[in-house]
Chains A and B, each alone.
Chain A
Amino acid sequence: MQPVATALAFQSVTKRFRNGRVALADVSWSIARGSRTCLLGPNGAGKSTSIRILEGALRPTAGSAELLGEPVDGPGYAAARMRTGIVPQGPGMYTDLTAREYLRFAAELYETSPDRAIATFGLRDHLRTRLSELSGGFQRRVVLAGALVAEPELLLLDEPTVGLDPKASHEVHEYLRQVMSGRTVLLCTHNLAEAEALCEDVIILREGRVVLRGRLGDLRRGARSRLRLAVHQGPQALAARLNGFGPLRVVGDRVLLEVPDPEREAPRVLRTLLEAGLDVYECTPLQASLEEVFLEAVG
């Protein structure tokens, strides 16, 4: 089996700003080529700082970061940047450049043509409009097109839908699904639905530290998996019978029972309840949502 190549890596990265604020504290993580990873965390967790280090705009105070196998301060970094598309978080828009001029400018820097990206993002009818006069959704499409003019193998997305209305967010998600296919993607967001919809792996940051990382499915399974149960005799009778199986909580006429592996535990619990004469009409294994995983991780 061939070793999986690393697309992005942080090794003991610390970033301390001039005002003394520590944005990242001894952070280490890496993501494999071809994976779609979400960097998740509340505001101030260090997500954008991580992107800015990878785009070469900020330097780590300590540690090192790699982009497509090249150290960000190394001689091969410029070439790695040419194979990377970056969508910054809510950038300001030029008042004196049209969409066509901006995309040509981006394409010139990537040494390519903007035509394909213009077609992919449906921008043909808006090329003569100044960037600042486009709607929020179209502005985001232009920025995405700018990041994708060179068909990069790596995409860094920093809150790509922040500030957009639900319709525009949905459109951007559709475009992202299209362009993320076959690429390595690092998506920074605090939008859990976005992370769940677009990524398979997650790294959760809190106050500049990695608090959790792994496959989204594994994390969900590992975090407070539960069985939801209901009986005709009512939740109190059910709760009395479930004592000893694990922590439980009564929610309305149902009981949530915390068990390590709900699918494996369900038959045993169900048998016990039926043998005790309870009329069970619901026994559903529940996987933790990403929201629950996130809240558990960040407190």
Chain B
Amino acid sequence: MSVQLQLTRPVRVLLRKEVRQFLRSRTALLTGLLLPTLIMVVAPVVQLVAAAGGSSAMRGTTAVPAGVPGMSGLTQLSDVFLYVTFPLFFVLAGLMTPSLAATHTVISERERRSIELLVALPVSVTDILTAKTAANLLVAAVTLLPLFVVDAVVVLVLTHAGPLYVMAALLLVLSSLTASIGISLLLALVARDFRTANNLNGFFVVPTMIMTGLCVTLVPGLWRFVVLSLLMLALGGAAYLIAVRWLTFERYLT
């Protein structure tokens, strides 16, 4: 049994229900919008604006360790932001936003036991989890992609980075979103309540951020985005395999 993103009729009906419920939850909306906005727009834009001339202390060149492969050539402060801190923001936002949505759509259904109502209707557990995963992705994509457009505009206007940088960054955001499919599925099958879900989120986010940190310091230029994207896809694939091969969908119901 596996979750395949096939939007069959039951999945489409379930997906509409999920999105409607998400939009009705103020808590889900607030956390689903606020955190990504802070991570994807506020933090990076403030950094770039400061580096571009807002503050004299932040402006100009910077000294970075010359022997570190990922740091060589990063002479401007804005370069450090673009190539070192921005990938961290993109990975964090790409992973966290679907997880926040998953916590709402998956865990709340299980906690209030309305999942019993769902499985009594002519849908399979696969349909339910596919619809929830699709809803989480949809919510995350609708939230993150407009925020990314803001970032892209600011980057193109305030820095010397060109469209290639924007494309590489977009690849990283999309890879992180894709990885979150496997991670949120794993979350759905393992977490029984909000506390466990939050702990699991932390379990994934902390090592991922360490991995991202290592990658941005060790891989030079735009390659870091490509390598990071591949690592994110591998992480998501591993989480997906663990979810569908070693865990069963019965876990979600029992």
Contact = CB atoms under 8 A, between A and B. Distances in A.
Partners in one complex: yes
Interface extent on B, as a size class?
20 to 34
A94 B120 contact: no
Given A91-B114, A105-B17, A55 B24 contact: no
Interface string B7-32: 00110010001001100110000000
Given A96-B21, A96-B25, A82 B253 contact: no
A183 to B, nearest CB: 16
A95 interface: yes
Contacts of A58: 250, 253-254
Given A81-B122, A97-B21, A105-B13, A92 B253 contact: no
A82 B122 contact: yes
Contacts of A88: 116-117, 119-120
Contacts of B17: 97, 105
Interface string B201-217: 00000000000000000
Contact of B13 (A94, A97, A108): A108
B253 A91 contact: no
Interface in B122-154: 122-125
Contacts of B115: 92
Contacts, number: 79
Interface in B54-85: none
Contacts of B164: none
A92 B125 CA distance: 17
29 contacts: A18-B250, A18-B251, A18-B254, A55-B119, A56-B119, A56-B125, A57-B125, A57-B250, A58-B250, A86-B120, A88-B116, A88-B117, A88-B119, A88-B120, A91-B116, A92-B112, A92-B113, A92-B114, A93-B114, A94-B117, A96-B25, A97-B20, A109-B121, A109-B122, A110-B122, A111-B9, A143-B117, A143-B120, A146-B120
Shortest beta-carbon contacts, A-B, top 10: A92-B113, A91-B116, A86-B120, A92-B112, A81-B122, A88-B116, A92-B114, A88-B120, A57-B119, A91-B117
Interface of B: 9-10, 13, 17, 20-21, 24-25, 112-117, 119-125, 250-251, 253-254
